Structures are given as structure tokens and as C-alpha cells.
């Protein structure tokens, strides 16, 4: 089999890249280790920057997003019972859209299938060959047998545990990592959201987040110790803990119900440099991870896709390789800013095991500065709605 771009990973990065390239007449094959149903059962991010919304429109897959997504003009950061509202629209003229990653992925799969795009599911033993040469190829096993795909370029969109990053020789890459000593226990429940905007809550018992998918579907998270297990948390225990961490008036109007999904995600900051090796490009979680505070994971994957898409279009349309040569540096510049913002929000809002009274006062002083200083709010808002591509 031959294609122009072999895309490893059928998550949001891989599918969006494939669909954007298709619209420019560039051919790709997507390799996904799991089944489509499995990918669509994963509950992940929920907040889209306008850059990602624009990319979805450019990819021709934004009809449902435009009809069903919820535009949010701001967010609330609470500390104890105090609520600080950050007005994105007023501070930046921009907003974010609440629309689940699951729906983004669903819309992209539908578009790739409608266009007859090649997606090979249940791909095992995916191996990249000669990425630093002129003629790379990828081998794999599918339920139908062994496959070899010859291509011009390989896009590694296979997430943190994928094979693409490891295909760059160890001496050619450098990895930066910070693991946080806690995780997020998240639940999805068929209840109305407690507020019409997200609430990022810090309290003496730790962090909590009130989020949503739509008017009847809520997503809530509480910070839990790193070694905690989902089995330790009944729904009632979750709701009790959430109520403790959010402002009392908000807790009073919280509508609870059975969880329809419950999982724990670890918190990690991670960056691999560079993001290109020869004809192999890393995109999204394959190259970097952020802690979820600030909702930058999916959005940073989208900015990588934007840079890579334009680089490939320049290559094929104009015979100009400047975008390809510059991809890693350009993507990393924005990645590190998203890393900084996610680290800052995580550090500001979580309870760290062993943190001193001084450390807590520093968090409180930072929150007071954010409450009282317009420039501080503007800096937060500009990062939250997404830095320019």
C-alpha cells in the first residue's frame, strides 16, 4: 500500500490531520490500535479554544459543533466560598466552546468514512522504518493480515503510550517531565450542570472542577491522592467530597445522581524535543502531556496539527520545505507556553502533600492578585482562550 502521509493514531490529532489533508487533495492512511467504538468510549477533554473550532470548520466537520457547542464567555475560580469571575470576552474579545472530545472524534470519524478515507483498526506491532531516510515505510499487523505502507511522511499522532516518539533514537531526543503527586477522579452524570460556566475550585481539602457536556450532562472532578482507586469511591462519597470543595451556595444547588462514568487520570507535564526526526513528525500527546487544569491537552494537540498541516500543504503545493524544517521549533514554542499555563494553574489550585502554611498563603496571595488585578486576569484569560497560532 502507498500513501503520501501515514498517520499513526486515530485519536483527535490523527483524524483531524487526515481530514484537513484530504480537503487539500493530500492522501493519508490512519492506523489505529483499538476499535472505533473503544476510541469513542473514552471520556476526555471538554473545552475547545477558538483555534480548534476554526480548524474543525476548515476541515468541514463543524456543523454539529456550531449547532450544539456551548459558547462560554468566562469562568469562575473559587477559593473556599469566594468566587472570582474571569470574563474572557470582556478581557480578550474571545471565548471558548464546550463540546466533548468524544463528539469531536465522532464527527471526524463520520467525515473520514463519508470521504472513503482509509482507517486500519486494530493495528498491532506498528513499526516505523527509515524515518530519517528518503523513503520511509510503516509495517503492521491487522486482523486481515500483515501490511506494509510506503509513504513520504509519517505523522506520529499515537498519544503518550504510542510507538512514534520511541522511534526517534534516544540520543536524538530529550524528554522533560514532572509528575504531580495526585490525580483527578472524574465522573459523568446525567444531571443539570451546577452553574452555566465552569468552576475551578480550590479549598483546604483540595481542588475540584465543575464542568459539563450539555444542559443535561455534567462532568465533575476532585483531586485525589496519586495511589487512590476508583473502587474506593462510591457516588455518594464523591458528591460529599465535591460539596466540601466548592462554595457553599453552589454546593446547596448541586443536583446529584448516579455516575455513568468514573475514572482517575494521573497528572503529568511532559515534553519531548525535538518533535521531528527526518520524515517523522510527532503531534499531540505523542510529544507532550499537560496536567488537565486549564484544558490545554486537546487544544495543544490541535495547534500541532495546524502547524503540520500547513507545512505539508506548503511542501506538496509549493515545493517549499520551510514549514517542515521549522515544524518542531514552531510547535514547541506554543507547547511550552501551554505547559507553563497548565503548570501554573495546577500549582495555584491544588493541595500538595506536605505543603506548608507558607505555600498555602502564596496560593492565596496569587488568587487575591488575580481577583484584584485586571492585567493578571487578562494574562489568565489570554492563555485560557488560547494563544495565537
Catalytic residues: 72, 200, 292, 296, 384
Q: How far apart are CA 294 and CA 341, in angstroms?
A: 7
Distance CA 14, CA 16 (A): 6
d(CA 297, CA 268): 11
Long-range contact pairs involving 321-328 (C-beta distance under 8 Å, separation at least 24):
324/276, 327/275, 327/276, 327/281, 328/273, 328/274, 328/275, 328/276
If the CB atoms of residues 167 and 209 are measured against ligand DHB, the closer one turns out to be 209
Instruction: Spell out, one character per residue from 39 to 58, where the chain touches ligand FAD: x when CB under 6 A holds, - when not.
Output: x----xx-------------
Residue 9 lies near ligand DHB (rule: CB under 6 A) = no
Is position 69 an interface residue for ligand FAD (rule: CB under 6 A)? Answer: no
> Does residue number 285 form part of the binding site for ligand FAD (CB under 6 A)?
yes
Residues 288-347 binding ligand DHB (CB under 6 A) are: 292-295
Alpha carbon distance 2, 137 (integer Å): 9
Query: Residue 247: which of ligand FAD, ligand DHB, none does it interact with, CB under 5 to 8 A by kind?
Result: none
Number of H helices, E strands in the chain: 13, 20
Grid cell digits, residue 159: 498519544
Among 5, 6, 7, 13, binds ligand FAD (CB under 6 A): 13
**Sign of the alpha-carbon torsion through 55, 57, 58, 61:** positive
* Contact status, residue 308 vs residue 9, Cβ threshold 8 Å: no
Residues in 213-252 that interact with ligand DHB by CB under 6 A: 219
Asked whether position 102 contacts ligand FAD by CB under 6 A, the answer is: no
Nearer to ligand DHB, 280 or 367 (CB): 367
Q: Give the interface with ligand FAD as residue ranges (CB under 6 A).
A: 8-14, 31-34, 39, 44-45, 101, 123, 126, 157-159, 161-163, 265, 284-285, 292, 295-298, 301
Q: Give the interface with ligand DHB as residue ranges (CB under 6 A).
A: 45-47, 198, 209, 211, 219, 292-295
Amino acid at each position: 500500500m502507498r500513501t503520501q502521509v501515514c498517520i499513526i493514531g486515530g485519536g483527535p490529532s490523527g483524524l483531524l490531520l487526515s481530514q484537513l489533508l484530504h480537503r487539500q487533495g493530500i492522501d493519508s492512511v490512519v492506523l489505529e490500535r483499538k476499535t472505533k467504538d473503544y476510541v469513542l468510549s473514552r471520556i476526555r477533554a471538554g473545552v475547545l479554544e477558538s483555534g480548534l473550532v476554526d480548524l474543525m470548520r476548515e476541515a468541514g466537520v463543524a456543523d454539529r459543533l456550531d449547532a450544539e457547542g456551548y459558547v462560554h464567555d468566562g469562568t469562575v475560580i473559587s477559593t473556599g466560598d469566594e468566587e472570582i469571575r474571569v470574563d474572557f470576552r470582556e478581557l480578550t474579545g474571545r471565548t471558548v466552546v464546550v463540546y466533548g472530545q468524544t463528539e469531536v472524534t465522532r464527527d471526524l470519524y463520520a467525515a473520514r468514512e463519508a470521504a472513503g478515507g482509509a482507517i486500519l483498526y486494530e493495528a498491532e506491532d506498528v513499526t516505523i522504518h527509515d524515518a530519517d531516510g528518503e523513503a520511509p515505510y510503516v509495517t503492521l499487523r491487522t486482523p486481515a493480515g500483515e501490511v506494509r505502507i510506503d509513504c513520504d511522511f509519517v505523522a506520529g499522532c499515537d498519544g503518550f503510550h504510542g510507538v512514534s516518539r520511541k522511534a526517534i533514537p534516544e540520543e536524538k531526543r530529550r524528554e522533560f517531565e514532572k509528575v504531580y503527586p495526585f490525580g483527578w477522579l472524574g465522573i459523568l452524570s446525567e444531571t443539570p450542570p451546577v452553574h452555566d460556566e465552569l468552576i475551578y475550585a480550590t479549598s483546604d481539602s483540595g481542588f475540584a472542577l465543575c464542568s459539563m457536556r450539555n444542559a443535561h450532562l455534567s462532568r465533575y472532578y476532585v483531586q485525589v491522592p496519586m495511589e487512590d482507586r476508583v473502587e474506593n469511591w462510591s457516588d455518594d462519597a464523591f458528591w460529599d467530597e465535591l460539596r466540601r470543595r466548592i462554595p457553599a451556595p453552589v454546593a446547596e444547588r448541586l443536583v446529584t445522581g448516579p455516575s455513568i462514568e468514573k475514572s482517575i487520570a494521573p497528572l503529568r507535564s511532559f515534553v519531548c524535543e525535538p518533535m521531528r526526526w527526518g520524515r517523522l513528525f510527532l503531534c499531540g500527546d505523542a510529544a507532550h502531556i499537560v496536567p488537565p487544569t486549564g484544558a490545554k491537552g486537546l487544544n495543544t494537540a490541535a495547534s500541532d496539527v495546524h502547524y503540520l498541516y500547513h507545512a505539508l500543504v506548503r511542501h506538496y503545493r509549493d515545493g517549499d520545505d520551510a514549514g517542515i524544517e521549522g515544524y518542531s521549533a514552531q510547535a514547541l514554542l506554543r507547547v511550552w507556553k501551554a505547559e507553563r499555563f497548565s503548570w501554573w494553574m495546577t500549582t495555584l489550585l491544588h493541595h500538595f502533600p506536605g505543603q506548608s502554611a507558607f505555600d498555602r498563603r502564596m496560593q492565596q496571595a496569587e488568587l487575591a492578585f488575580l481577583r484584584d488585578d485586571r492585567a493578571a486576569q487578562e494574562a489568565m484569560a489570554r492563555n485560557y482562550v488560547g494563544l495565537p497560532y
